[in-house]
Amino acid sequence: MNKLTKSLSSFVVPLISILLAFLVGMIIMVCMGKNPADALYFLGFGAFGNAANFGTTLSKATPLIFTSLCACFAYRCGVFNLGGEGQFIMGSVAACYVALRSGITGVPAMILCLAAGMAAGGVWGLVPGVLKITRGQNEMIISIMLNYVATLFMGVVYTNWLRDASVPQTEAVPNETKLPRVLTGMRFTYALVIAIVVGLLIYYFLFWTSGGFKLRAVGINMTASRFNGFPVKRYILTSFIVSGAIAGLGGAAELLGTQFRLINGFGAGYGFDGVAMALIGQLHPIATMVVAVFFAALRTGSMTMQAGTGVPTSVSDIIQALVIVFTVAGMALTKLPQFEQLRYRLRSRKGGNAA
């Protein structure tokens, strides 16, 4: 397969998958006795209809961008970091501590919170990384176990250590420490700006620096990279730490920008969603960010859809899940030798007709 058709199929397959997923979603709506056209209208309006709705979509997209970049970066180095959720949560816990207990407020506090979040996320990513390179352990299982540990640890924090009186949640971060909105009337904050900058930095690093080239080489073929003298283990460990730090930064930004306090369910599911988005985005940082916005649009829009037509929001969850199911299967399909033959045959027939 030449380079052009490869990049074409990596663009077309997710697109077809999205259409197919919507088709299935519409069939489900018809089965529930709802009008799919109405539902789609409300879905689109809820996500992009006016400045406020679009702002909500972008604000919902922000944490997803962070966790999807986290998954994307690690997988580029050939390791599966499924611990995005745990790293995200540890980042938010660290940020929460700094925001509530350091006694400083304002911009210095913001910077300190974000740095603390990155550090905590990085440490949480370091654990599976170290176990992977020293003990050859399965990084997926370890990182998932750490997700549960992180969620429970956050539980300790909001039910005991930083508990807000009788309610099982932490106090809200001080108003001066909250990340400000970029535009009035739209809900997204500077967290989105940070997310986009991180995405662009990753893109630059992966595709325009020799370090990024080596990291991708490790991801494509570890043995060949080792024979080339690349420090494979160091790259794996670094990719875990950086990937964890990205998720941790996301957790801190989400706390300061949107949620303001730790509460039951904070960050739940973001890790796996991030993996899904990275895979749909073909592990390209910029495509991954676009996919994250798309997923967020589905989520925001589905609320309006539920209010307007009675179609439950979980239909949009099904659509999201189907997109990943179809995309991965579709990408595998285009790599099959039979598919290549089919394409070749089609092309030669077309050529025959022309001649």
Beta-carbon count within 10 A of 348 CB: 10
Q: What is the DSSP letter of 162?
A: T
CB of 285 to other proteins, least distance (A): 18
Q: Which range touches other proteins (CB under 8 A), out of 148-156, 175-183, 222-230, 232-240?
A: 148-156
Cα–Cα distance, 230 to 215 (Å, whole number): 9
Restricted to residues 158-187, the positions that interact with other proteins (CB under 8 A) are 159-160
CB of 334 to other proteins, least distance (A): 10
Phi, psi of 150 (to 5 degrees): -65, -45
- Enter the tokens of residue 315: 């239909």
- Under rule CB under 8 A, residue 8 binds other proteins: no
- Enter the tokens of residue 348: 């030669």
Q: Which range touches other proteins (CB under 8 A), out of 174-182, 245-253, 286-294, 307-315?
A: 307-315
Rg of the Cα atoms in the chain: 22
Measured from the CB atom, is 21 or 114 closer to other proteins? Answer: 21
- Residue from 30, 141, 200, 220 in contact with other proteins (CB under 8 A): 141
CB of 270 to other proteins, least distance (A): 12
Size of the site for other proteins (CB under 8 A): 46
Q: What is the DSSP letter of 209?
A: S
- Enter the tokens of residue 125: 């990513």
Cα–Cα distance, 263 to 90 (Å, whole number): 13
Measured from the CB atom, is 127 or 192 closer to other proteins? Answer: 127
Strands 167-170 and 163-164: what pairing? antiparallel
Q: Which of 196, 215, 195, 218 is nearest to 207 (CA)?
A: 215
Residues 67-96, mask of contacts with other proteins (x by CB under 8 A): -------------x-x--------------
Cα–Cα distance, 293 to 65 (Å, whole number): 8
Measured from the CB atom, is 40 or 82 closer to other proteins? Answer: 82
Measured from the CB atom, is 82 or 253 closer to other proteins? Answer: 82
Cα–Cα distance, 147 to 88 (Å, whole number): 9
- Under rule CB under 8 A, residue 49 binds other proteins: no
Restricted to residues 198-257, the positions that interact with other proteins (CB under 8 A) are none
- Under rule CB under 8 A, residue 144 binds other proteins: yes
Restricted to residues 326-355, the positions that interact with other proteins (CB under 8 A) are 328-329, 331-333, 335-337
- Under rule CB under 8 A, residue 315 binds other proteins: yes
Cα–Cα distance, 255 to 158 (Å, whole number): 13
Where would I find the H helices in the chain?
A: 3-31, 36-48, 51-76, 84-101, 107-135, 139-156, 190-208, 210-220, 222-227, 232-254, 270-280, 285-309, 314-335, 337-354
- Under rule CB under 8 A, residue 24 binds other proteins: no
- Which residues does 155 contact at the CB level (< 8 Å), separation at least 6? 264
- Residue from 32, 182, 193, 263 in contact with other proteins (CB under 8 A): 32
- Residue from 45, 153, 190, 205 in contact with other proteins (CB under 8 A): 153
Q: Which range touches other proteins (CB under 8 A), out of 112-120, 137-145, 184-192, 287-295?
A: 137-145
- Residue from 112, 182, 263, 318 in contact with other proteins (CB under 8 A): 318
Binding footprint of other proteins on the chain (CB under 8 A): 32, 80, 82, 131, 135-138, 140-142, 144-149, 152-153, 155-156, 159-160, 272-273, 275-276, 279, 312, 314-315, 317-318, 320-322, 324-325, 328-329, 331-333, 335-337
